[in-house]
Amino acid sequence: MKISFKNCSLIITFAQEKIIYLKIVEIKNSYIKLIFGLKIKQLRQEKKLSFSELANKTSLSVSYLNEIENGKKYPKTDKIASLALALDTNYNELVSLKLSKNLTPIGELLESNILEQVPLDHYGIDLNKIMVQMSNAPYQLSALVATMIDMARSSELSQNNFSRTALRIYKEFYDNYFETIENSVNNFITEYHLDVTPPVKYDALFSILAKEYNYTLNETYLNRDAELKELRGVVKSEKATTLFLNCDLSSSQKSFVVAKELAYNYLKIKKRSFIHSSLQLNSFDHLLNNFLASYFATALILNKDLFLRDIESFFQKESWDEKSIFKLLHKYDSTPEMLFQRVNNLVPKFMGLNKFFFLRFNTEIGTNKYDLTKDLRLNIKHKPGGYQNAEHYCRRWISIEALKKLESQLSAKINTDEFIADILHSRFYDSSEEYLCFTIAQQNNLNKKSLSSVTIGFQVDDLLKQKIKFWNAANVPFRIVNDTCEMCGIKDCKERVEQPLSLMKIEKSHRLETAMKKLKKSVS
C-alpha cells in the first residue's frame, strides 16, 4: 500500500508510539518475571527450603529455580502449579502481582515510570540483580525506596530529566571534547573533498546527502500543516529518503539540519528521532545520538583549526566588541548556539579555560517567565538559576537581561539586528567566585513569540586574565548576582520578582537550631 505524506505526522506519531508501547511491554514483562521470582524466593526462605530441597519437591533443576528467582525465567502453567504445591500456596496467589508488605516499595518502583527513565543498560547495571538485593534489604531500605519514589514522582525525574542529566554528566566527563567525532569529521572532509572555508556551503552539504545517501528535499510541505510548521525538519524513509525542511529556517539552521543527517548516516547511527525537534527526544538513546550528530554537524560547519584562530584573535582584543560576535556568526553562517557550543568544545581543550557553564533560556513574549532548557557545567559549583525550576531565576543575569532587552526592542519595533550580544562580569552574592559571561539572544524563526538566549560564563581566574585580554575593560559591566529570588539575601534588589521565601525558611530553621542548643546548655 502506498502511503502519502498527507498524514505523515500521524504516521510518525503512530510509529513512535508503537515502538514506545513495545518497549513498555518488554519492560513490563521483565517486571512480571522479577516480581514472580521475588515471591518464589521469599516463600522458599520462609519455608526454610534450600534450592536442592525445592528442586526435589518440584522436579525442577536447581539452575532453573535460580533463574526464576533472579527474574530471568517465567515458568509455564504446570511448573507454576508444582511450585505452588511445594510452597504451600495457591496458584492465583503466586501469579498475582501483589507483593508482601516489605516488598511493596519494590513493586511500586517497578510499576512507576521511573526506571524507564533511567538508562541502566548504558551503565552496565543489571536491574534484576538490584531487585534481588533489595528483596533482602531490611524495612528501613524499603522505606527509603518508597521515599525516593515519592520524591521522583513530584520532581523533574518523571518528565525525563534523569536522561538529560545523565547526558550532561556524560559530556562533562569528557570535558565536552570528543576526539573520535573530531576524527570522523576530518575523515569525512577528506573523503568528500569538502571545502570548509567559512561559510561551509549548504548546497555542498546537501549534494553529498543526495548523492551518497539518496535523499530528496521538500521545503514546502511542513509550512502548510498547522501541526508541523514549528518543526525544523522531518525525515521520511521509503524507497528513497525525503528530508522535509521548514522553509522559514535561516540558512545556518538549514545547514545544521542537513549536516546532522549526514552525521546520522556517516556515523551509522540507527537509534534516532526522525523529527528535528527537542520535543521528540524522549529516550536516552535518542538524546545521546542527537548530541553526537549535533557535535558532528557543528564541527563540520565550524572547522576546528580555523575557528580556534578566530576565537584566540577575538579574546586578544583590547575591549569588548559585540560586532566581533556578529562577524563570527556571519563568517561561519552559524546559529548562536552552534557558535557557543563550538567554543565549549575547543576552548577547554586548547586554551585551558575549562571552568565554565553553558546555558540556554527560553521565554515567550509577554510572560515574564524564563525556562532553563539546556545547561552544562565544567569544574564549577555555581550556575545561574540553581536547580529549582519552580523558583525565579535571578533577573540580574545577562542571560535574562538580554531577553528582556530584545523583547523591549521588538515591542518598540526598533530592533534592526538579527541578534543581541552582550557581556557581564558577575560575582555571586556571598561568594568570591566570579564569571565573565557572554550572551546572544534572538527571536525564534518558527515562532515569533518565542525568544531564546545562549550564555557562556567562564570563571575568572589567573588563566582567564591571560587568555581574555578585555576581561576587565571599561566597557565590561560588573554586577553582583545570585541563584534565584527565593534563595537570595540581596537587600533592596530592584530586579527581584519574588521574596526570599526559601532562604527565610532556612534561616528560621537555623535560628531554631541555635535556640535549642542554647536551651540545652542552660539546662545542663
| Same domain, residue pair 482 and 369 | yes
Domain boundary among 138, 159, 180: 159
Q: Coil, strand or helix: which one is 452?
A: strand
Domain assignment present for 184: yes
Domain assignment present for 341: no
Domain assignment present for 308: no
How many other C-beta atoms can be found within 10 angstroms of the C-beta atom of residue 232? 21
How many other C-beta atoms can be found within 10 angstroms of the C-beta atom of residue 215? 20
Domain boundary among 301, 325, 342: 301
| Same domain, residue pair 196 and 294 | yes
| Same domain, residue pair 196 and 127 | no
Q: Which residues of the chain have pLDDT under 50?
A: 1-27, 138, 156-159, 387-388
| Same domain, residue pair 191 and 154 | no
Domain assignment present for 254: yes
Q: What's at 475, amino acid-wise? A: N
Establish how many alpha carbons lie within 13 A of residue 320's alpha carbon, considering only the half-sphere containing its beta carbon: 17
Nearest to 485 by CA among 347, 368, 328, 375: 368
| Same domain, residue pair 138 and 281 | no
Q: What does the pLDDT read at residue 138? A: 46
| Same domain, residue pair 385 and 479 | yes
Determine the longest span between alpha carbons in the chain, in angstroms. 87
Domain assignment present for 343: no
pTM, to two decimals: 0.75
Domain that holds residue 241: 168-301
Domain assignment present for 230: yes
Can you tell me the distance from the alpha carbon of 444 to that of 451, in angstroms, rounded to the nearest whole number?
A: 6
| Same domain, residue pair 121 and 236 | no
| Same domain, residue pair 9 and 29 | yes
CATH number, residue 225: 1.10.10
Domain boundary among 126, 159, 192: 159
Contact 429, 408 (CB under 8 A): no
| Same domain, residue pair 148 and 173 | no
Domain assignment present for 330: no
| Same domain, residue pair 223 and 364 | no
What are the contacts of 52-55 at 24+ separation with CB within 8 A? 54/83, 54/86, 54/87
Q: Coil, strand or helix: which one is 145?
A: helix
Q: What's at 411, amino acid-wise? A: S
| Same domain, residue pair 437 and 402 | yes
| Same domain, residue pair 18 and 146 | yes
In the chain, how many domains are there? Answer: 3
CATH number, residue 467: 3.30.450
CATH number, residue 67: 1.10.260.40
Q: What does the pLDDT read at residue 152? A: 56
Question: Which residues lie closer than 8 Å to 433 by C-beta, 6 or more apart?
Answer: 380, 381, 382, 427, 459
- How do residues 310-328 score in pLDDT, each as one tens digit? 999 999 999 999 999 999 9
Domain assignment present for 321: no
- How do residues 13-36 score in pLDDT, each as one tens digit? 444 444 434 443 444 566 788 788
